[in-house]
Chain A
Amino acid sequence: MTIEKTIVTIRNISKNFGGLAALQQVNITVTRGSITAVIGPNGAGKTTLINVLSGFLLPDSGSISLNNTVITGKKGHMITRLGMARTFQTAQLFGTMSVLENVMVGRYARTRAGLAGAALRLPGVLAEERAVRARALKLLDLVGLTDQASLPATSIPIGSQRLLEIARALASDPQVLLLDEPAAGLNTQETRLLGELLQTIKNQGITIMLVEHDMELVMDISDDIAVLNFGQNIARGTPAEIQTNPDVISIYLGED
């Protein structure tokens, strides 16, 4: 069996909010095992794209497929179960729970314990619970939050909250990880560590698609970059190609 080179295909996706065309006929393919970045000025439709991909918004037209299966129109929780997990632009942690428990919630999609089994603490449920805890601790170790495992999730610094969101998303064993501005609010040092973490995740075989404003990070880690402007996909290529693309330069530096 051959494995397809392309893992996500975005075909002719359009999304309008009233009169505003947030996405117009966007086409992007994501290569399996790559880090693909989507960049563009504010209001270019980047977050809308993430929301459409993750099933939080329905596109007006077009289709999205994951592993050659069309996922357009599926609910958000189904898309996670199919192997595409996401983080949020402003960290959306579960505030009543600890750091560790937040990651344990992330394991929901890959576990089975039901109400009755949980209430009666059946042996199978207890074994699953132990496995979930062990896996969550491992992921906290990966992102470097082991020390803070028992703290309330929303009490940790913003930079750590972003890492926690990534660990939580990884807990669902995604094939594709969607990151909505993971470096927002991070300092230079934290951003550098984030870049290293994303490389480690990529080396584990997980495809990453991120929306990001921090150009240094994007150019540093991406294999592939797509540029959006006013909802249109205006350029596509490797970091080197994008940096010398005249259209991209004119958007970012302004035309004369």
Chain B
Amino acid sequence: MHVRKNIPLILLVLTIIAVPLTISDPYYLTILIFIGIYAIATMGLNLLMGYAGQISLGHAAFFALGAYVPAILTTRYEVPCIVAAALAVLLASAVAYLVGLPCLRLKGHYLAMGTLAFGEIIHIVLNAEVELTGGPSGIAGIPMLGIGNLSVDSDEKYFVVVWVIFVLLFALTRNIINSRPGRALQALHGSEQAASAMGIDVPGMKLMVFILSAAYAALAGVLYVHFVAFISPGAGDIMFSIRMVTMVVVGGMGHLWGSLLGAGLLTVLPEMLSYFEDYDMLIYGGILLIMVMFLPGGLTQGFERLWATLRNRRNPT
């Protein structure tokens, strides 16, 4: 009964199986791994922005926290990766709770400014706390992911780990959206007053989705740091926060598949445009501008329109 609805997910799983068997070029594998990592962070931010209608311009900070905790714990204290990863996600969630408590009382532009300020504070701390974070030069030599003797020691294996996590999270997130808490999130987007009149604790619900989205970003940070094996404060940069927001918007706000499409496009596009050398940023900006102007619903909307056109052509009425 649900097969039809799950066709895109089944295709994705088949692709995940096929890629490591057919692609061995490390360059392409690396790009595909990055897409998976960013898609996880984007999915979390999409819950906050697309579904609950709240903005955050500080999500790179949660990504950076997720990356720095394992970097510090595995290189200096030899904490097992899996424990460090769990602590990273927990710390990011705890910070999200403390930041969200005051910030989420703000709305619109003010919430954007509040989260922006938080992101900058984390960025400054990462630069300044040289003893803890290595300062501007960062931390290198972070070990591979692994449990006990099992180590994710090749790009092919890393690809599978990242994408299996993405598919699992995707399924869980989709379940949440089509449920009581998921509908409550979407209610916030529609009308906070009416949401409250339905018995929804509006500030509590906002805080919950903020923490959830921070946890996704932190998990993406964990996957990033074990793959790149190096981390510097650049990961918590405001520009990266804005890039995540752009991924959500370009992919399609409030569309789960949009998270993957947005992360994919914004990761692949700069690589493709590097061919144009000095003009790459100009073309990149132009493409984004045209997309936002003609596809305000993002890539998901584009695909939906294309699909509708094709179907109408096949069965003209």
Q: Could you list which residues of chain B lie within 8 angstroms of chain A, going by C-beta atoms?
A: 51, 172-173, 175-176, 179-184, 186-187, 189-191, 193-202, 208, 212, 254
| Contact status B201-A77, CB under 8 Å | yes
A residues in contact with B184, CB < 8 Å: 105, 108
Residues of B within 8 A of A81 (CB): 199
Q: Is the beta-carbon distance between A92 and B183 smaller than 8 angstroms?
A: no
A85 at the interface (CB under 8 A from B): yes
Measured between beta carbons, the chain B residues less than 8 angstroms from A32 are: none
Does A184 sit within 8 A of B, measured CB to CB? no
- Picked from B180, B190, B196, the residue with its CB within 8 Å of the CB of A76 is B196
Whole-angstrom distance between the Cβ of A169 and the nearest chain B Cβ:
7
Nearest CB in chain A: distance from B5 CB, A = 14
CB atoms of B175 and A172 under 8 A apart: no
A92 to B189, CA, bound (A): 11
* A54 in the interface (beta carbon within 8 A): yes
- Hey, which chain A residues are within 8 Å of B200, CB to CB? 77, 105, 108
The answer, yes or no, to whether A56 is at the interface (CB within 8 Å) is yes
- Chosen A-B contacts, 12 in total, with CB atoms closer than 8 Å, are A86-B197, A93-B194, A96-B254, A106-B198, A108-B187, A113-B179, A115-B181, A118-B179, A118-B181, A118-B182, A129-B179, A168-B198
In the complex, A119→B186 CA distance in Å? 16
- Known A-B contacts: A108-B198, A110-B199. Give 14 more (CB < 8 A): A54-B197, A76-B196, A77-B202, A85-B197, A92-B193, A94-B186, A94-B190, A94-B191, A105-B184, A105-B187, A114-B181, A118-B181, A125-B180, A129-B179
Separation of A97 and B178 alpha carbons in the complex (Å): 11
Q: Give the residue of A88, A94, A109, A115 whose beta carbon is less than 8 angstroms from that of B176.
A: A115
The 4 residue pairs across chains A and B that have the minimum distance between CB atoms: A109-B199, A94-B190, A118-B179, A92-B194
Q: A95-B190, A108-B184, A115-B181 are in contact. Are A169 and B197 (CB under 8 A)?
A: yes
A132 interfacial by beta-carbon distance below 8 Å = yes
Residues of A within 8 A of B187 (CB): 94, 97, 105, 108
Are the C-beta atoms of A105 and B198 separated by less than 8 Å? yes
Closest to B253 in A: A96
Residue A203 is within 8 A (CB to CB) of chain B in the complex: no
Closest B residue by C-beta to A125: B179
Counting contact residues on chain A (CB < 8 A from B), the size range is 35 or more
CB-nearest residue of chain B to A112 = B180
* Interface presence of A13 (CB below 8 A): no
A47 within 8 A of partner (CB) = no
Q: Are A105 and B212 in contact (CB under 8 A)?
A: no
Q: How far is the CB of B273 from chain A (nearest CB, A)?
A: 34
CB–CB A109/B175 < 8 A:
no
Residue on B with the closest CB to A94?
B190
Residue A101 at the chain B interface, CB threshold 8 Å: yes
Report the Cα distance A110→B199, complex, angstroms: 9
Residues from chain B with Cβ under 8 Å of A128 in the complex: 180
Q: List A contacts of B175 (CB < 8 A).
A: 118-121
When C-beta atoms are compared, the residue in chain A nearest to B196 turns out to be A76
Q: Give Cα distance in the complex from A132 to B176, angstroms.
A: 15
Q: With the chains together, A120 CA to B174 CA distance in Å? A: 10
A108 CB to nearest chain B CB (Å): 5
Chain A residues with CB under 8 Å of B193's CB are 56, 76, 88, 92
| A56 and chain B: residue at smallest CB distance | B193
Complex partner residue of B197 from A80, A112, A113, CB under 8 angstroms: A80
* Contact (Cβ within 8 A) A119 B180: no
List A contacts of B182 (CB < 8 A): 118
User: How far is B206's CA from A77's CA once the two chains are assembled, in angstroms?
Assistant: 14
- On whether the beta carbons of A132 and B180 are closer than 8 Å, the reply is yes
B199 touches A172 (CB 8 A): yes
